[in-house]
C-alpha cells in the first residue's frame, strides 16, 4: 500500500531539528554553560559564602518578592483590561489598546527615568502621595511600580485572544440554566481563561525577575533596602569579581527555573483537568 506523505513547508525533520538545536545551543546553552563553568572556579565554601552574604540574600528577597507581587497584580488588572478591550466598544478603545503595548516598545532606561520623574516627591503623582506620607520613588514600592509597568502587556496580550475566541453561547446556556453573572464568570469563563492567565502571569514574573533598566533609576539602590539582584551582579562585575557575579547569577537562574517549572506544571494540570471536564460534558 502506497502511503503519500503530506508536503511540509519546512525542510525535513533532521535538518529542521538540527538547525533548531544549533540555534538554541549558540543563543542559550553556551552562555549559560559559561556561567556555570566560571562559577565552578570557586570552592564550595567560597560559593556558599558569596550567595549567602546578607546583602545578596536581601536582594534575592526583594527581587523575587517584588516580581511575584507585581505578576499577581498584573494578573488581576491585566485580566480586567483584556476583558474591557474585548467585550466593550467605546471611544478611545484603539488608543488604550495601543498604550498597552507601550512597555514593549519603550526602552527600559527611558521607562525608568519617566517613572522616576512622575513618582518622585516633586512629580505629578509622587507629590500628592508624599503629602499623605506615601513615598514611591527610591523605595521598594517604586520597584514594584516599575515591574508592574513592564509586565502588564504580557498578561493582557496572552488573555485577550482567549477571550475573543470564547463562545458566547456557553454564557447564554449558563444564564438559561439559572446561573447568575458571577457564577457564569467563575464556573464558565474562568476555567477557560485560567491557563492563559497563568501563562501571562509566568511571562510577567519571568520578565520582572531579571529586569534592570527600568528599575535601577527608581529603586534608589540602597543595600538591604532597595537593591535588586541584577544590580548586585553588575556591582560585582565592576569590581572585577567575575566568579562572584556568576555565582549570584547561577543561584538566580536555578531559582527562576524551579519557579517557572512549578508554574508550568500547574498550568499543565489545569489544562488536563479542563479537558477531562469537557470530555465528561
- From 117, 76, 74, 36, select the one nearest 203 (Cα to Cα): 74
Which residue segment(s) compose the domain that 251 sits in? 35-280
Say which residue, 175 or 153, is predicted with more confidence: 153
Domain CATH for 219: 1.10.3720.10
For position 232, what pLDDT does the model report?
A: 93
In a domain? residue 2: no
pLDDT at 1 over 50: no
Q: What mean pLDDT comes out for the span 149-173?
A: 86
Structural domain count, the chain? 1
The pLDDT-based confidence of 19 (bands split at 50, 70, 90) is: confident
**On the CB side of 172, how many CA atoms lie within 13 Å of its CA?**
4
- From 123, 85, 103, select the one nearest 218 (Cα to Cα): 123
Q: What mean pLDDT comes out for the span 130-153?
A: 93
Q: What is the pLDDT of residues 76-89, one digit of tens each?
A: 999 999 999 998 88
In a domain? residue 225: yes
pLDDT at 67 over 90: yes
Distance between CA atoms of residues 253 and 29, nearest Å: 13
Residue 79: Cβ-neighbour burial (10 angstroms; 0-12, 13-18, 19+): buried
pLDDT at 250 over 90: yes
Distance between CA atoms of residues 57 and 242, nearest Å: 18
pLDDT at 22 over 70: yes
Q: Which CA distances in Å does 226 have to 139, 154, 214?
A: 6, 25, 14
For position 183, what pLDDT does the model report?
A: 79
The pLDDT-based confidence of 180 (bands split at 50, 70, 90) is: confident
For position 166, what pLDDT does the model report?
A: 80
**Concatenated DSSP letters for 99-113?**
HHTHHHHS-HHHHHH
| CA dihedral (100, 106, 109, 111) positive or negative | negative
DSSP state of 207: H
Long-range (24+ apart) CB contacts under 8 A made by 86-92 are 86/160, 86/163, 86/164, 87/163
Say which residue, 269 or 139, is predicted with more confidence: 139
Q: What is the pLDDT of residues 201-243, one digit of tens each?
A: 988 998 998 888 889 999 888 889 999 999 999 999 999 999 9
Distance between CA atoms of residues 64 and 68, nearest Å: 6
Residue 170, C-alpha cell as written in the block = 456557553
The pLDDT-based confidence of 44 (bands split at 50, 70, 90) is: very high
Average pLDDT, the chain: 86
For position 7, what pLDDT does the model report?
A: 57
The pTM of the full predicted model, rounded to 2 decimals, is 0.85
In a domain? residue 73: yes
Q: What mean pLDDT comes out for the span 161-174?
A: 80
For position 34, what pLDDT does the model report?
A: 87
**Concatenated DSSP letters for 115-151?**
HHHHHSTTSTTHHHHHHTT---TTSHHHHHHHHHHHH
For position 81, what pLDDT does the model report?
A: 94
pLDDT at 50 over 50: yes
For position 10, what pLDDT does the model report?
A: 58
Task: Map grid coordinates 538545536 to a residue.
Answer: 21
Give backbone dihedrals phi and psi of 225, rounded to 5 degrees, phi first.
Answer: -125, -60
Q: 117-153 as b/e, with b when 16 or more CB fall inside 10 Å?
A: bbbbeebeebeebbeeeeebbbbbbbbbbbbbbbbbb
Amino acid at each position: 500500500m502506497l502511503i503519500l506523505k503530506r508536503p511540509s513547508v519546512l525542510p525535513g525533520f533532521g535538518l529542521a531539528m538540527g538547525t533548531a538545536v544549533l540555534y538554541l545551543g549558540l543563543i542559550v546553552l553556551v552562555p549559560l554553560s559559561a556561567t556555570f563553568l566560571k562559577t565552578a572556579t570557586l570552592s564550595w565554601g567560597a560559593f556558599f559564602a558569596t550567595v549567602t552574604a546578607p546583602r545578596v540574600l536581601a536582594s534575592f528577597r526583594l527581587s523575587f518578592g517584588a516580581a511575584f507581587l507585581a505578576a499577581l497584580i498584573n494578573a488581576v488588572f491585566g485580566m480586567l483590561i483584556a476583558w474591557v478591550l474585548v467585550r466593550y466598544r467605546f471611544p478611545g478603545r484603539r488608543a488604550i489598546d495601543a498604550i498597552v503595548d507601550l512597555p514593549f516598545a519603550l526602552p527600559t532606561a527611558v521607562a525608568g527615568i519617566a517613572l522616576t520623574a512622575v513618582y518622585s516627591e516633586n512629580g505629578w503623582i509622587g507629590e500628592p502621595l508624599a503629602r499623605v506620607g506615601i513615598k514611591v520613588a527610591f523605595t521598594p514600592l517604586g520597584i514594584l511600580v516599575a515591574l508592574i509597568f513592564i509586565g502588564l502587556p504580557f498578561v493582557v496580550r496572552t488573555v485577550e485572544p482567549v477571550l475573543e475566541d470564547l463562545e458566547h453561547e456557553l454564557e447564554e446556556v449558563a444564564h438559561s440554566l439559572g446561573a447568575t453573572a458571577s457564577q457564569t464568570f467563575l464556573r464558565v469563563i474562568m476555567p477557560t481563561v485560567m491557563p492563559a492567565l497563568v501563562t501571562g502571569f509566568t511571562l510577567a514574573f519571568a520578565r520582572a525577575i531579571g529586569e534592570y533598566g527600568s528599575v535601577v533609576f527608581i529603586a534608589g539602590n540602597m543595600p538591604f533596602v532597595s537593591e535588586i539582584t541584577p544590580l548586585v551582579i553588575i556591582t560585582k562585575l565592576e569590581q572585577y569579581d567575575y566568579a562572584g557575579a556568576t555565582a549570584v547569577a547561577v543561584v538566580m537562574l536555578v531559582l527562576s527555573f524551579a519557579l517557572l517549572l512549578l508554574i508550568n506544571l500547574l498550568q499543565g494540570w489545569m489544562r488536563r483537568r479542563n479537558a477531562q471536564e469537557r470530555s465528561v460534558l
